[in-house]
Structure 1
């Protein structure tokens, strides 16, 4: 059974939703937000992984942090709708969405990428991000007091591609457009939207970088990585700003990774 957030223990805390919260950056951000006294709703496709994130958060009695796992497939509009209904029914509002759920897809040449594999990446990275942002926008616009913040997880690939990454790269470029449009459309309603572009955080999804990954010059090389907690601190900083201030775009990367000068 999900470990439900309690209204009495969560009183006075702002409410955040983290998608892709079952591992990696999502888990690290959830931990950082709870440490900053947020109530955090954990969304992801794997209930067991969400429960592990909730277990790592832990409880410290009635005044301790609150966390609510809600298994959700962000590619399904009906599940996203149910997620936001749960948030509104349980907490009455949403102050932060960290739009983090994502997928890489197979690292194959463009001519070998199947349509199903292309579609799977677009469904999660773009469609899922849109569905959650749209639902968050509606909630933040209608709640009292009005407003909130959306932080989209972009990528270094929102700026420059890796070889054999057309689906991932295309969706991350699209994420930048999503961020800009949400930021503009949110102005009248005190909805701030920013984007964090992450390079080489050490997670399950980036394991191949530590084993050796194809470079633009055709070589396969090991790349440096950074701790996901370093990313989480930046997200927590962005989240803590008053709605009158916004980090529009931030880049956090392993210092020596091949980004500046890539290719």
Structure 2
């Protein structure tokens, strides 16, 4: 196995921590980034190949500084895992405030764009060239939950961004995958296992699954050669109401 240089955003908790930990255990060099240093250090947990660099993915100067440091430390980047994001406000389009909309777009869509922008620039210039980008989408990139207009819109935007990166990156040996995750058990989804609002207005508990299976999928993607791409991957709790949602 060739150790790769991998950046995981939102690595301080939840899916980001699960993915980063699995990648470290697989022997890769992993840059852990997020807004707060303390949870990133907890994720690093003494791993020799973990590098903690706090950053704000919604800020272009912060993201630029992050990738400049990566270049100084490693001289290249092989994989970017765009995981950072937020659920944002709950409500229909007439019920949410513009400021809450903007914060959600900044975290979920602009942050993914800014990190991909810097990663692609490095991947094109480095030798050997190329790399892989994994964008954390959502089942809401396909079908929304009730009262999730901001989150749903940003995740649909991530789909367009993923497809464009994949297409434009072909000639530069850059692959891009969107992984759409449904009900992985993390702190962010804790309430789903107790009560989740359904499209018909009822509330019911939904099944969840261990986040390590998402991490395993990312480890597998990272191990693929660059002449193989996986445009999209959906992983979800088997009995959750998604295929028949509505």
TM-score interval for Structure 1 and Structure 2 normalised by the shorter chain: over 0.9
Decide which of 5, 13, 26 is 1:15's aligned counterpart.
5
3-state DSSP class of the match of 1:192?
Answer: strand
2:43 corresponds to 1:53: yes
2:189 corresponds to 1:206: yes
Deviation at 1:106, TM superposition (A): 2.2
Cα deviations across residues 149-193 of structure 1 (Å, max 9, x unaligned)?
001001000100000000000011111100100001101110111
Supply the distance in 2 between the matched residues of 1:228 and 1:167 (Cα, whole angstroms): 24
TM-score (norm 2): 0.98
The correspondence of residues 150-229 of structure 1 with structure 2, limited to 5 A, is 150-229=133-212
Other-structure match for 1:62:
none
More deviation, 205-214/71-80 = 205-214
The correspondence of residues 1-263 of structure 1 with structure 2, limited to 5 A, is 13-55=3-45, 58-59=46-47, 65-263=48-246
Supply the distance in 1 between the matched residues of 2:25 and 2:153 (Cα, whole angstroms): 34
Runs of 4+ aligned residues of structure 1 deviating over 6 Å after TM superposition are none
Deviation at 1:114, TM superposition (A): 0.5
Cα deviations across residues 175-229 of structure 1 (Å, max 9, x unaligned)?
1100100001101110111110000011111122122111001001111111111
Aligned residues: 245
Structure 1 alignment gaps of length 5 or more:
1-11, 60-64
3-state DSSP class of the match of 2:72?
Answer: helix
Structure 2 alignment gaps of length 5 or more:
none
Cα deviations across residues 117-141 of structure 1 (Å, max 9, x unaligned)?
1111000100000000000000000
3-state DSSP class of the match of 2:233?
Answer: strand
Supply the distance in 2 between the matched residues of 1:186 and 1:97 (Cα, whole angstroms): 14
Deviation at 1:109, TM superposition (A): 2.9
Task: Kindly report the root-mean-square deviation, in angstroms, between the aligned alpha carbons of the 2 structures.
Answer: 0.9
Supply the distance in 2 between the matched residues of 1:261 and 1:117 (Cα, whole angstroms): 30
